[in-house]
Amino acid sequence: MTGSILILAGRRPGAVDALAAAHGVADKCLVPVAGRPMIAHVLDSAAASGAERIFVSTHHTTLLEDIDDRVIAALGERLVVVPAADNLADSVLAVAGLAAFPLLITTADNCLLTPDTIAEIGREAARLGAGAGGRARAARGCARGPSRGTAALL
């Protein structure tokens, strides 16, 4: 897939995630699955894609240090952390202004996302011409946002 990937790893202001609290971590995306933080699995799949940039939108200023996983170094400069807004739409719009299109949007807890799924979405985006005029579609599409555990494409 060409373009960019946005991984939403924010949280509601003032909210404590019960799953994160039960595992003694700051954010749900840091809960271990198969010995690694959930977000590390999502980043692995993103790393295997041809995406120019992988953005992570988060309120957690030390997220990369807390992930402590080999995938961070593997992504190098392709990985860009951006501050999350207090709502999903504004977080998406902030990255839409920086990203190459098409822009695949997913959540940091979508640890079942595979490189094959990203490639399939990329092929469909190319077939539909999703890279052209993506910024114009961003304002319309982001208000709905991705459902939990899925990926959306702008």
Q: Give the pLDDT confidence of 11-35 residue by residue, as tens digits.
A: 877 788 899 999 999 899 999 999 9
For residue 149, give the 3-state DSSP assignment: coil
Q: Is it the case that residue 129 has pLDDT exceeding 90?
A: no
- Kindly report the average pLDDT of the chain as a whole number: 85
Instruction: Quote the CA–CA distance of 23 and 18 in Å, as a whole number.
Output: 9
Beta strands in 28-101 (DSSP E): 32-33, 36-37, 53-58, 79-83
How many domains does the chain divide into? 1
Identity at 89, one-letter amino acid code: A
Instruction: Quote the CA–CA distance of 83 and 105 in Å, as a whole number.
Output: 16
Structural contact between residues 79 and 27, judged by C-beta atoms closer than 8 angstroms: no
Q: State the pLDDT confidence band at 147, using cuts at 50, 70 and 90.
A: very low
Mean pLDDT, residues 79-97 taken together:
94
Q: Is it the case that residue 133 has pLDDT exceeding 50?
A: no
Phi, psi of 98 (to 5 degrees): -110, -20
Structural contact between residues 49 and 122, judged by C-beta atoms closer than 8 angstroms: yes
Instruction: Quote the CA–CA distance of 47 and 92 in Å, as a whole number.
Output: 20
CATH number of the domain within which 137 lies: 3.90.550.10
Q: Is it the case that residue 152 has pLDDT exceeding 70?
A: no
What is this structure's pTM?
0.85
Q: Is it the case that residue 126 has pLDDT exceeding 90?
A: no
With pLDDT > 90 as the criterion, what percentage of the chain qualifies? 66
pLDDT at 81: 97
| Parent domain of 148 | 4-153
Residues 66-78: b if buried by 16+ CB within 10 A, e if exposed: bbebebbeebeeb
Q: Is it the case that residue 84 has pLDDT exceeding 80?
A: yes
Mean pLDDT, residues 109-132 taken together:
88
